Structure 1
Amino acid sequence: MKILLVLACSIAVMSPGGLRFVPFVLLLGVGLALSEREWTRAVGLTATAIVMWALGWVLPLWWPNAFTAIVAIVCIYLIRFVAAIGIGMHLIGTTSPTQLASALRAWRIPRPVSVTLAVMLRFFPVVSAEAASVMDAMRLRGLAGANGLLRHPVLTLERFTVPMIAASLRASEDLSASAVLRGLGSHRVPTAMHPPRLGTADLLLVLAVAVLATAALILPALLT
């Protein structure tokens, strides 16, 4: 259901008339973040949407010129991605690679696709943690900061990129070994300890999406 929700919301907001769905997708993304107690994500998503709304709709009316028109066009385009990313972050934050692989197997998705997506879902958090460790090490040595980046941009990028390449290679080798131990290369279908099933939370999510979709279709007609 979470995968279908991401696909449906992405298609809705990226369609030619997708701006009407953007506020409701944002509302759904904030509601999902609050249900997970992810207060930072909820506040960040709300603040980003408010800033883009102010720059895209309010600023051109208050200060009309060519610059604000360009900013408005960019914000009106990017706010669609913000809405879709809010739903995608719910999928990433609440779905483990094991659950994703089990769901894709239940959908009869080809093994190369399901294994690739499961490894990607586990790889990006590892890379993010390694990047934070590299930045901490650079700060301890006095190599990170705006001054160093402005004075020696190429050297600063080199000092960050080289350890990140080594850390990414080491993480990929560890994940490959873990995948082999988990039997991802086996021709037999593994048995899931917790098979994906449609539950009460999924039904409530479908009901909430139906209500928001109906409101997105009806409210613009009523306002006009």
Structure 2
Amino acid sequence: MTGTRSQPAPAAVDEPVATAPEGTVGGWVLDPRTAVVILLAASITIMAPGGLWFVPASLVAGVLLAITERAWRRVFGLPAAAAAAAGVAFLLPLAAPWPVLGLVGVMGEFTLRLVVVGGIAAHLIRTIPPTRYTAALRAARVPSAFTVSGAVMLRFAPTIVSEARAVRDAMRLRGLGGWTAMLRHPLRAIEYFTVPLMASSLRAAEDLSASALLRGLGSQPRPTSMHPPRLGPADAVAGCVVVLLAVATVLWRSGR
């Protein structure tokens, strides 16, 4: 008896995930274009001269995004890290008029800005898959140079974090991890951590490059999407909240 073998249906290229990421509140998922605009606006305003005025507003935005994601560790950890960096930046130089403390204060101020921007970037990395990211940026007519590089970074950053944890666990098994071992042999600990991490990073970069070529990221034809990205109510609410925070910051600054 002969039978016919069913052929699998061709998969659509660059199909974004239609379901909400795990941990989001009520399917609260921002469109990648909205998240990228919020991240760029926060980065430009905070890193610009006088950008410290916008640090509280960006911190509130990062905490609200973490709440929608139910990332409770980030909800409490982001303000704590920002408060620690602010203490180093503004309170430590007041302890003594030493040039070294002034330099540490400048580094703390820059760290404060990075922490606040990193809180918003963490939400983008955790909730937006690279497929939705590339589909949304293509819909916005963003050049492929920015689209491909951003998609690679979204996949590369979690890979590096997991590799760093694996190297740290391997160092602990060999008695090289922990603060005691680092204080005893700091150069050796740095060497044993960076060399395997660099090697694993190179392997991960090669795998990601091959995966990008297989997915057609460098091809000339524009890939199609089964679920085209669309702006929703969550994007409207997020835009209104960001505008209100910016207006409140400007009014607060003008009133000082």
Structure 1 length-normalised TM: 0.86
Question: Match for 1:23 among 27, 34, 56?
Answer: 56
Q: Where in structure 2 are the equivalents of 1:112-151 lying within 5 Å?
A: 112-151=145-184
3-state secondary structure, aligned to 1:188:
coil
Moved over 6 A (4+): none
Q: What is the Cα deviation at residue 32 of structure 1?
A: 1.0
Residue-by-residue CA offset, 1:156-197 (whole Å, 9 max, x unaligned):
334333332332233223223322332223222111233221
Shift in CA distance, 75/177, structure 1 to aligned 2, threshold 3 Å: closer
Find the counterpart in structure 1 of residue 196 from structure 2.
163
Q: Where in structure 2 are the equivalents of 1:39-118 lying within 5 Å?
A: 39-58=72-91, 63=95, 65-66=97-98, 69-118=102-151
- Of the structure 1 ranges 34-43 and 213-222, higher mean CA displacement relative to structure 2 is found in 213-222
Partner Cα separation in structure 2 for residue 162 and residue 174 of structure 1: 19
Q: Which has the higher contact order (CA 8 A, sep 6+)?
A: 2
Unaligned runs of 5+ in 1: none
Partner Cα separation in structure 1 for residue 102 and residue 190 of structure 2: 34
Residue 173 (1) aligns with residue 209 (2): no
Partner Cα separation in structure 1 for residue 178 and residue 90 of structure 2: 35
Shift in CA distance, 204/181, structure 1 to aligned 2, threshold 3 Å: same
Partner Cα separation in structure 2 for residue 165 and residue 74 of structure 1: 26
Partner Cα separation in structure 2 for residue 173 and residue 73 of structure 1: 37
* Paired amino acid for 1:65: P
Shift in CA distance, 60/163, structure 1 to aligned 2, threshold 3 Å: closer
Q: What is the Cα deviation at residue 52 of structure 1?
A: 3.0
Find the counterpart in structure 1 of residue 233 from structure 2.
200
Q: Which has the higher helix share?
A: 1
- Of the structure 1 ranges 189-198 and 199-208, higher mean CA displacement relative to structure 2 is found in 189-198
* Paired amino acid for 1:221: S
Unaligned runs of 5+ in 2: 1-33
Q: What is the Cα deviation at residue 82 of structure 1?
A: 2.3
- Of the structure 1 ranges 172-181 and 36-45, higher mean CA displacement relative to structure 2 is found in 172-181
Shift in CA distance, 112/215, structure 1 to aligned 2, threshold 3 Å: closer
Q: What is the Cα deviation at residue 216 of structure 1?
A: 0.7
Q: What is the Cα deviation at residue 150 of structure 1?
A: 3.9
Q: What is the Cα deviation at residue 69 of structure 1?
A: 4.7
Q: What is the Cα deviation at residue 143 of structure 1?
A: 3.0
- Of the structure 1 ranges 145-154 and 20-29, higher mean CA displacement relative to structure 2 is found in 145-154
3-state secondary structure, aligned to 1:194:
coil
Partner Cα separation in structure 2 for residue 178 and residue 107 of structure 1: 24
- Of the structure 1 ranges 189-198 and 50-59, higher mean CA displacement relative to structure 2 is found in 50-59
Q: What is the Cα deviation at residue 91 of structure 1?
A: 1.7
